[in-house]
């Protein structure tokens, strides 16, 4: 029986569900893992995660399709990305097939929490890993915990899609050869001050520039940029310090193969902003959030949001990808993972 929640109004907040998957890495190997009921973790005060922020995570969603199945979008890519994150943070890699299996098991065990088709809500899936055992000197924890929990979340834009207002941040997100390309909690810890400040100044998000030269567009705290030029080319910034968004990579395939648009993944100089007709932010949370303006000091750059609060091309991209996710449009091979 589906939970009786006010799906449209549940917001984006943690809501513990019936069960979660847990697997422990001890003596150099992963155990089989199990579904458990307890949402709490009891752990040494000196664990790697507490002392040196040794943790990484993933984020994806399960949806109900038009024909009533529960599906997950491309979990194999989340599995691969987490392997990269673990390697960079000296955490033990959790194997790809086991990752997908753990995610599917967790969603299956919480099917009552998957919001119904058409509600705009979805089941957010949060796999993560922590350095579990105690450390004092700076070193990687010997033991780790991999865990997957889910939480139902409402539509990202409550009360309808609205163009976002961004500011160019005076802070940097990722150093050259740093950890910008992995999904590490530490990348978010140091972005909290910048986002609070932006919110305080009534901006929705920060646009980060490359830290080396501060001349190129990188990403926001948690979403990749996608631009559409005046001649209709879809452009996304290429940089080794950007987190490779699965949504953005999927949207580029949609732009090329479904919409027949010219696509470029390349460096995007900030000086090119006046040439961009449309702008969007790509990520699991909202698929694409339209950007209405970017403010840099006393200059404001504005973008087309004439197609019902989105740029016309951004809207086509949004509708095609959400159509694929909801089963209204045929998906490329391997994109949709059916859970039931």
3-state SS class at 79: helix
Among 131, 222, 237, 280, binds ligand PLP (CB under 6 A): 222
C-alpha–C-alpha distance, residues 339 and 150, integer Å = 14
Is 271 in contact with 215 (CB distance < 8 Å)?
A: yes
Nearer to ligand PLP, 59 or 232 (CB): 59
Nearer CB in complex with ligand PLP: 247/320: 247
Which residues are identified as catalytic?
183
Stretch that binds ligand PLP, among 62-70, 104-112, 244-252, 259-267 (CB under 6 A): 244-252
x/- site string to ligand PLP, residues 161 to 200, per CB under 6 A?
Answer: ----------------------x-----------------
Token look-up 């909690």 returns 185
Nearest to 294 by CA among 281, 307, 312, 313: 281
Nearer to ligand PLP, 121 or 286 (CB): 286
Candidates 243, 254, 273, 314: give the one binding ligand PLP (CB under 6 A). Answer: 243
| Sequence-separated (6 or more) residues with CB below 8 Å from residue 99 | 75, 78, 79, 82, 127
CB 56 within 8 A of CB 185: yes
Q: Based on CB atoms, which residue is closest to ligand PLP, 273 or 286?
A: 286
Contacts of 239 (CB under 8 A, 6+ apart): 210, 216, 218, 267
Instruction: State in angstroms the smallest separation of the CB of 127 from ligand PLP.
Output: 12
Residue 159 burial (CB < 10 Å; 0-12/13-18/19+)?
Answer: exposed
Piece of 17-25, 82-90, 245-253, 272-280 that binds ligand PLP (CB under 6 A): 245-253
Distance (Å, rounded) from C-alpha 127 to C-alpha 183?
A: 11
Report yes or no: 128 and 147 within 8 Å, Cβ to Cβ: yes
Q: Tell me: does residue 19 bind ligand PLP (CB under 6 A).
A: no
Query: Which residue of 172, 219, 278, 304 would you call a contact of ligand PLP, by CB under 6 A?
Result: 219
At 197, list the tokens: 């400040």
- Return the range that interacts with ligand PLP (CB under 6 A); candidates 140-148, 204-212, 216-224, 268-276: 216-224
Q: How many residues lie near ligand PLP (CB under 6 A)? A: 14
CA distance 318 to 169: 26
Rule CB under 6 A: say whether 246 interacts with ligand PLP. Answer: yes
Minimal distance in Å, beta carbon 246 to ligand PLP?
3
Least distance to ligand PLP from the beta carbon of 196, Å? 17
Binding site for ligand PLP (CB under 6 A): 59, 183, 219, 222-224, 243, 245-248, 282-284
């Amino acid at each position: 029986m589906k939970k009786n929640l006010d799906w449209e109004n549940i917001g984006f907040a943690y809501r513990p569900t019936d069960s979660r998957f847990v697997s422990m890495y001890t003596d150099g190997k992963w155990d089989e893992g199990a579904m458990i009921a307890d949402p709490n973790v009891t752990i040494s005060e000196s664990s790697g995660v507490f002392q040196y922020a040794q943790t990484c995570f993933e984020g994806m969603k399960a949806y109900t399709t038009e024909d009533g199945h529960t599906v997950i979008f491309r979990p194999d890519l989340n599995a691969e990305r987490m392997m990269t994150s673990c390697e960079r943070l000296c955490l033990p890699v959790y194997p790809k097939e086991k990752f997908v299996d753990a995610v599917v098991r967790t969603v299956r065990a919480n099917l009552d929490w998957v919001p119904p088709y058409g509600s705009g809500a979805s089941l957010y899936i949060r796999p993560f890993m922590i350095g579990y055992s105690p450390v004092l000197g700076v070193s990687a924890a010997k033991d780790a915990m991999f865990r997957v929990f889910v939480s139902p979340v409402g539509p990202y834009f409550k009360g309808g899609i609205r163009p976002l207002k961004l500011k160019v941040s005076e802070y940097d997100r990722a150093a050259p050869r740093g950890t910008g390309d992995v999904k590490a909690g530490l990348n978010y810890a140091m972005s909290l001050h910048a986002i609070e400040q932006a919110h305080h100044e009534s901006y929705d998000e920060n646009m980060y520039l490359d830290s080396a030269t501060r001349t190129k567009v990188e990403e926001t705290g948690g979403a990749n940029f996608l631009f559409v030029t005046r001649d209709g080319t879809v452009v996304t910034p290429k940089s080794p310090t950007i987190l490779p968004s699965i949504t953005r990579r999927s949207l580029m395939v949609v732009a090329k193969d479904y919409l027949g648009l010219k696509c470029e993944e390349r460096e995007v100089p900030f000086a090119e902003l006046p040439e961009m007709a449309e702008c969007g932010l790509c990520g699991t949370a909202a698929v694409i959030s339209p950007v209405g303006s970017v403010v840099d000091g006393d200059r404001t750059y504005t973008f087309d949001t004439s197609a019902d609060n989105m740029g016309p091309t951004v809207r086509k991209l949004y509708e095609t990808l959400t159509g694929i996710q909801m089963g209204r449009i045929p998906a490329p091979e391997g994109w949709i993972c059916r859970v039931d």
